[in-house]
Copies of this chain bind each other. A is one copy, B any other.
Amino acid sequence: MQRTVFFISDSTGITAETIGNSILAQFEGIQFDKHRLPFVDDSHKAEAAALRIKTRYAQTGERPIVVNTMADRGLCEIVAASGALMLDVFAPFIGPLEEELGTKRSGAVNRSHGLVDFDKYEARINATNYALAHDDGVDVDYAQADLILIGVSRSGKTPTCLYMALHYGVKAANYPLTDDDLDKLELPKRLRPYKDRLFGLTIDPQRLAQIREQRRPGSRYATVQQCRWELEQADRLMRQAGISSLNTTHVSIEEIASKIFERFGIERTMF
């Protein structure tokens, strides 16, 4: 069974999509065909959206579902006239909040993903540049790092660092454990002063071999045997050094980041 879903917004549509995906994930047996319609901020665009929804309704015979974050009531009504099931993301919360805060909402277009605060923007960009400069052990100045991820090659360090930088302005360096480190079962000297900022990523050997095989097909680097050896040694090294770690095999980048923040008591909210 498949149902069509439209995420409609007068801005980027990120909020509509985020909450929509979370709600839909709770209905496991159903396939959803998802479409994003951002920047619907005048009646022409709302009518075009309504027509598209109506067309889909006619094609499938099933009522489309609309997850909506448009603020303007008039635009909402135009889209609702398509006959879709309208789920208005903000409506249920505005009343209770207006009462609690003793003030009316501003009512303008949702700008939560559009607003730019230069300080926050700079924090994101600086952290991203930091992550890029301190990726794969290339640069050695870890003094500025909020945290340093360690792990074997392709265990997920780089995307996690970039995610934490882009979204939270967290300066995360990463250091790939070398064969030399793994042989000696010793943390490299330049990491030792920052032991309390280290966090390890690990992964199942089969999965790691699969990822490496894509990168260097047929190489020793990509064999399950080599992956298993590296991971076992890395695990030993981290246990000996008392470094917390997380197995990333079945965990999304978002969840890895949240778990790391939890471990370090970082409560920074996202931008």
Residues of A within 8 A of B (CB): 3, 7, 11-15, 17-19, 21-23, 25-30, 34-36, 38-39, 63, 65, 69, 71, 85, 87, 89-94, 96-97, 100-101, 103, 105-108, 110-116, 121-122, 124-126, 128-129, 132, 135, 156, 158-159, 162-163, 166, 211, 214, 249-255, 257-259, 261-262, 267, 269-271
Contact = CB atoms under 8 A, between A and B. Distances in A.
B128 A252 contact: no
Contacts of A250: 116
A193 to B, nearest CB: 27
A27 B106 contact: yes
Chain A contact residues, majority secondary structure: mixed
A18 B166 CA distance: 15
Contact of A12 (B89, B113, B135, B255): B255
Given A114-B252, A258-B12, A262-B39, A125 B159 contact: yes
